[in-house]
Structure 1
């Protein structure tokens, strides 16, 4: 990976009585991310589904998308062009408000 590569993590912290369709998220929404953001510089997409950790407490996040871009400007341009379409699709798979973290990839 290049020095300036960034990772954008969109995670979904559960709340009481949350709804989340992992099948839709992993297949349909992931394809939408690739189709919409690929032409705008998306380098790689990883999708996570949390596993139970053995405690009674739910995981801090039940699912996440990790999107890799060469730099922050590429991500910002991609979201300016396609962010509304991606956000509008959220109601098809969850009622959770996602948390977004943007970080520089070090290694």
Structure 2
């Protein structure tokens, strides 16, 4: 099993529309990418109360294989990347991880 994390770093002057992201973008991404499951995070703290969160948002997609993820993003990636401007001006950081336990 792999996890694809899409992270949106917090920075001065950056904006993020959580409502659009959770109600429009992510349901569409889930439909197109067909992961095993996905989760959405909204950053609230940087490890202790009162400390700013390093990421304003993140999502995590779970797939059986890297190949499944690659196949789906080859076909649907352009549509999903084009939608980013509708909810943020943050360049996302993407990490693919193997779930080991």
Q: Map Cα deviations across residues 33-70 of structure 1 (whole Å, 9 max, x no partner).
A: 111111xxx11010000113412xx3111100100000
- Per the TM alignment, residue 6 of structure 1 is displaced from its structure 2 partner at its CA by 0.2
Aligned length: 98
* Residue among 46, 64, 80 paired with 2:39: 46
Q: Any idea what SS the aligned residue of 1:45 has?
A: strand
Residue 18 of structure 1 aligns with which residue?
14
The answer to whether residue 30 in structure 2 is matched with residue 37 in structure 1 is no
Question: Which of 70, 76, 84 is matched with 2:78 structurally?
Answer: 84
Unaligned runs of 5+ in 2: none
- Given candidates 55, 60, 64, the residue that maps to 1:66 is 60
> What is the CA deviation profile of residues 51-105 of structure 1, one whole-angstrom value per residue up to 9, with x for unaligned ones?
13412xx311110010000011111101101000010000000000000000001
Q: Which runs of 4+ in 1 moved over 3 A?
A: none
Secondary structure of 2:55's match? coil
TM value normalised by structure 2: 0.92
